[in-house]
Amino acid sequence: MSAHSEHHVVPVKVYLAIFGALMVGTALTVFVAQFNFGVLNVLIALTVACIKATLVILFFMHVAYSSRLTKVVIGAGIFWFAILIFMTITDYRVRQDWHVGLGSLEKPAAEQPAAPQPSGSGH
Amino acid sequence: MEIAAQPAETQEESVNYLNVNHTVKSWLLTLDHKRIGILYLLSISLFFLIGGIYASLIRLELVTPRGDLLTPEMYNRVFTMHGVIMIFFFLIPSIPATLGNFLLPLMLGAKDVAFPRLNLLSWYIFIIGGAMMMYTLVSGGIDTGWTFYPPYSSIYSNSQVTLAGVSIFITGFSSILTGLNFMVTIHTMRAPGLTWFRMPLFLWGMYSTSLIQILGTPVIAITVLALAFERTLQIGIFDPKLGGDPVLFQHMFWFYSHPAVYIMVIPGMGVISEIIASMTRKAIFGYHFVAFSSLAIAVFGFLVWGHHMFTSSQSMYQGLVFSLITYAVAIPSAIKTFNWVATIYKGSVSYDTPMIYALAFLGLFTIGGMTGLFLAAMGLDIHLHDTYFVVAHFHYVMVGGQIIAYLGGLHFWWPKMTGRMYSEIWGRISAVIIFLGFNLTFFPQFVLGYLGMPRRYHAYVPEFQTLHVLSSAGASILALGFLMPGIYLTASLFFGKKAEANPWQAYGLEWQTASPPPLENFTYDPVVTHEAYDFDSVKEIQEAREKVAVTA
Ligand SMILES: [Cu+2]
């Protein structure tokens, strides 16, 4: 891998092929947007977008030809972003359950508007 | 270390990085990491002074229970500007950008950092961001608290939130570039023989810090930018009416801002390792554990941010996980603390100024860290959240930990940076004054917070006055303590006696070259042949160098 790290010349053909793939991805996104897949709408759009981004990173940004260390750094960036998304989304998922759970524990009295939670700040 | 040398010592006084050129232009366009370190030192000292003036205003206001010195609006601006300036413009750049810039290539045996131009660029970006923040300050200031929480910051605040956000966005790039530069330098420019596990622990600290700077800072940059867009264009990320969520801001903000605590404190820990090793003449106990604990803090520090959000609408289950990981992340810090103490044990300890700072660090950082565990307990946090207990806790970490370590490091490497010795007696006196003043300022705040004094209030019930007066009295002692190094260190530049290459008889490549170092750091090509902190070899190395210098 590291042998490739210096001044790798990418043939124009590769760039054109990637460009073509990106255009196909764009067309696909526009095409599927005309149908309603329900919850899958966002999933499909994001999947196509992620594939396109991966192609850009690997070929246009030359990561496919870079040293292993560069790949680790980029992988770490993506992994860290995944931590941010994962733990934030988890909050939204289980936050809902907790309010529902609390509701079922209480007497089935008339719906009370939840008291506004003070949102403070830490250090 | 062996030396393939030229006769360096004979012309020691002649050319060094300071006297090589005196023009202003040579400073403003310098690519020398040492000069860039000095430029940072001057700029952050200015910001520290400004942040300190705001701190004094806060403590003056709180001497009396009634808010009679500042209007509430003004008080909000004062504590916000204190926090923003101290955190983004002093604490975060302090050790990496000054001591780190100066020392990292020297400790590696390199001529400079990997990207000298990028290094200078990062200083200019810092200055542009800082200038914007100064403009923010005089054109109305900001009143949101340094945490910028919406919806107040996005909808209601009438202050310069957008401008401040953009200024922090810009400054962030300076931090990212410094981190990137250091990381590449450590990977690629270590001297022959300097393996990863022979590196001084300061460099392990700098490496871990760079990791956080590179992985975390982009998130705060995009967060404050999103806030700026929210304010100006109502794009609806944080506004529930438009489908957004204010708590999302807290998630994004703390994803960076908790690790940012470690950007501030890990370099401090690195400094403490160097000082303790040199001042006890012992290798740091459990070198590998101390090295890896820096990395562990850097990585696991990213998984605990929700402990700032226990009283928000964050899920309780999520809170439990964040609480648990927060307890776990205390372990590496504890490992370091125990290892430092084990290093001091039976060492031949000299109580020079840097060591006084290091000992102060051990005590104060332990208090700061342990009270963090109080706050990580979800139940107790409900009581303590947003009180002066939190304020005391993070000042024990930030001032008692980071600033104390920074000052210790500044004194330790001052002879190397300037070629002059400061007055040792004044150094010790001011270190003790800072220690006493600090405790008098912040210890009463633990009690105040426990009793229910909320933070960010400019007026309070009369029962709290005694403790507030104690705190303000401590603050004036602390301010005096901080002014003293400014005076005697400056005086040492003119009247101090000339420093030898290795005034502490310390181990490490930076002590092998002249004080101040020559333009390209070394007059020979350094080779490392010993493990880190091998103090028995210091004399041997020195004699070998002298022999080469004489025979050459
Ligand atoms: Cu935190």
| The predicted structure's pLDDT at residue A94 | 82
Contact present, B238 and B230 (Cβ < 8 Å): yes
Q: What is the pTM of this model?
A: 0.89
C-alpha distance from residue B469 to each of B71, B76, B384 (Å): 20, 20, 21
H or E stretch covering B426: helix B424-451
Please give the pLDDT value at position A6. 54
Name which CATH class applies to B2-551: mainly alpha
pLDDT bracket for residue B120 (50, 70, 90): very high
Chain B neighbors of A73, CB-CB under 8 A: 214
Answer yes or no: do A94 and B315 touch at CB < 8 A: yes
Q: How many helices, marked H, and strands, marked E, lie in chain B? A: 18, 0
Is the predicted pLDDT of residue A108 greater than 90, yes or no?
A: no
Condensed to tens digits (0 to 9), the pLDDT of residues B158-188 reads: 899 999 999 999 999 999 999 999 999 999 9
Nearest CB partner across the interface for A90, out of B247, B312, B318: B318
Cα–Cα distance for residue pair B330/B369, rounded to 1 Å: 7
Q: Is pLDDT at B400 greater than 80 in this prediction?
A: yes
For the stretch B217-248, pLDDT in tens is 999 999 999 999 999 998 989 988 888 899 99
Min distance A71 CA to chain B CA atoms (Å): 14
Task: Please name which of B212, B80, B98 lies closest in space to residue B152, comparing C-alpha atoms.
Answer: B80
Element (H, E) at B222: helix B201-233
Whole-angstrom distance, CA of residue B541 vs CA of residue B502: 12
Nearest C-alpha in B relative to A69: B187
CB contact under 8 A, B251 and A91: yes
pLDDT-derived band at B353 (thresholds 50, 70, 90) equals very high
Is the pLDDT reported for residue B7 higher than 60? Answer: no
Cα B32–Cα B33–Cα B39 angle in degrees, nearest 5: 95
Cβ of B315 within 8 Å of Cβ of A98? The answer is: yes
3-state percent helix, strand, coil for chain B, nearest multiple of 5: 70, 0, 25
Please list the residues that pair with B527 across neighbouring strands.
Answer: B2
User: Contact, B110 vs B191, CB < 8 A?
Assistant: yes
Which range among A41-45, B193-197, B453-457 shows the weakest confidence by mean pLDDT? Answer: A41-45
pLDDT at B524: 87
- Supply the pLDDT for residue A97: 55
Give the residue with greater pLDDT, B316 vs B441: B441
| CA nearest to A102 within chain B | B316
- Residue A106 pLDDT class (50, 70, 90 cuts): very low
d(CA B182, CA B178): 6
pLDDT in tens, B487-498: 999 999 999 999
Chain A nearest-CA distance from B294, in A, is 17
Average pLDDT for chain A: 78
Measured between CB atoms, does A116 come within 8 Å of chain B?
no
B246:A88 CB<8 A: no
Q: How far is CA B259 from CA B44, B60, B214, B254, B263, in A?
A: 21, 31, 11, 8, 6
Residues with a beta carbon under 5 angstroms from ion ligand 1: B 258
Please answer whether residues B431 and B356 qualify as being in contact, where contact means their C-beta atoms are separated by less than 8 angstroms.
Answer: yes
Task: Kindly identify which residue of chain B lies nearest to residue A94, measuring between CA atoms.
Answer: B315
> B518-542: per-residue pLDDT in tens?
999 998 889 888 889 988 888 887 7
Determine, for residues B311 and A123 on separate chains, whether the beta-carbon distance falls below 8 Å: no
pLDDT at A42: 87
DSSP letter at A58 equals I
Q: Is the pLDDT of residue B348 over 50?
A: yes
C-alpha of residue B212 to centroid of ligand 1, in Å: 14
End-to-end CA distance of chain A: 45
Mean pLDDT of B370-376: 95
Alpha carbons A50 and B353: distance in angstroms, whole number: 55
* Residues on chain B touching A98 (C-beta within 8 angstroms): 315-317
Angle at which helix A12-32 crosses helix A40-55, to 10 degrees, equals: 170
Q: pLDDT class for B15, splitting at 50, 70, 90?
A: confident
Q: How confident is the model at residue A115 (pLDDT cuts 50, 70, 90)?
A: very low
**Phi and psi, residue B306, nearest 5°:** -65, -10
Residue B206 φ then ψ, to 5°:
-65, -35
| Sequence spans of domains, chain B | 2-551
Quick check: B246 and A76 CB within 8 A?
no
CB contact under 8 A, A119 and B251: no
Q: Decide if B461 contacts B65 (C-beta within 8 A).
A: yes
Note whether B314 contacts A95, CB cutoff 8 Å: yes
Mean pLDDT of chain B: 92
Radius of gyration (Cα) for chain A, nearest Å? 23
d(C-alpha A48, C-alpha A45), whole Å:
5
Distance CA B342, CA B286 (A): 9
State the distance from the centre of ligand 1 to the C-alpha of B304, rounded, in angstroms: 7
> What pLDDT sits at residue A96?
63
Cβ atoms of B319 and B378 closer than 8 Å: yes
Min CA distance, B386 vs chain A (Å)?
6
Structure tokens, B1: 């270390």
